[in-house]
Amino acid sequence: MILNAIIRAYQDKYKRNWDTIYFAIDLHGTIIKKYTGDDIKVYEKAAEALRFITVIPGIIPILYTSTSPDNLKPFYKWCSENGIIFKYLNENPECPSNKTGDFSKKFYFNVLLDDRAGFNPDTDWLETITAIKTAEIMFKCPKMDICRRSLEFSADPWMCRTCSKNDYILDEKV
């Protein structure tokens, strides 16, 4: 599920010639299991995935939570200690309202990582890393112009049809 959402976001980025993909990332039930005061219990692979998202040029992570800013101080401290940076909290000022979209009550994002939207924190953090690595490789491939049109109809991120190279994500670095 998350693989398709991320590949679709990269497809839109390419088709529309955008520089940025925005990830809205929920806190409770997605990044952390438990959060009482300074006691933060993080899902396995969440820190690794968030560090990875933080360093990818062209991805902006936005913390999406109902937690009050004062109560986020221990979480932001944990983020700082773990090399994780959220650019915004519950907003995306880089995408203001326009003639086709009113972002005054709902901010713009391309990918939503939220347990209430079907994100499974026990399995989907690793899939998120894999999907981003796959998309980064797919859309930087020098032969991509040959097969880009096929992505509009059916993207198979595990195999490049042009090169017939299976699981190329395992062999390449982003």
More confident call, 11 vs 58: 58
pLDDT tens digit string along 122-147? 999 999 998 898 888 777 776 666 65
Q: From CA 38, how far away is CA 27, in angstroms rounded? A: 15
Domain boundaries, the chain: 2-170
Report pTM: 0.84
Q: What 8-state DSSP symbol labels residue 3? A: H
106 phi/psi in degrees, rounded to 5? -135, 120
What's residue 40's pLDDT? 87
Q: Return mean pLDDT, the chain.
A: 84
Q: Which residue has the tokens 């690793």?
A: 126
Q: How is domain 2-170 classified at the CATH fold level?
A: Rossmann fold (3.40.50)
What's residue 159's pLDDT? 47
Q: Which residue has the tokens 């409770």?
A: 28
Q: From CA 63, how far away is CA 53, in angstroms rounded? A: 12
Residues in the chain: 174
Segment among 109-118, 120-129, 146-155 with least mean pLDDT: 146-155
Q: Above 70 in pLDDT, residue 165?
A: no
